Amino acid sequence: MLQAVSGGAVVAALAQAESLVKWAGRTSFLLFVTAAALALGLAVLAAYWRHQYKMWDVKAIASANQGKSQEAQNRSAKANFYLWGMRYVLVAAVLCILFALGQFIVSLWLYAPKKIR
């Protein structure tokens, strides 16, 4: 979901770049696109880490069933690392999207009334 939101925001902003720069300013537009692109990258990383987590979790369970306790512990540690990382990267992606939208809305409120007059 975060990939769709952030990717859609980047594509839509680039398609309407001229209008967005006119109404919110160049700096706000650049901050928006940068934060949305960063959120997209973080969302892709979270998806990859989710895959890694599931892979190592399944391997840890298989190792534990075969009685390989040290190997199971190593695989479980890797699974826990990817789970922890995925959770924090998702939070970072959400914060990037919120920052991008928030600063853009504030810029619209600050600069758009000057354009209307």
The parent domain of residue 38 ranges over 2-116
CB 37 within 8 A of CB 6: yes
pTM (2 decimals)?
0.84
What is the number of structural domains in the chain?
A: 1
Angstrom CA distances, 93 to 13, 48, 62, 104, 115, stand at 18, 14, 33, 17, 32
In tens digits, the chain (117 residues) has pLDDT values of: 889 999 999 999 999 999 999 999 999 999 999 999 999 999 999 999 999 999 888 888 777 777 667 888 888 888 889 999 999 999 999 999 999 999 999 999 998 777 776
pLDDT at 117: 65
pLDDT at 31: 96
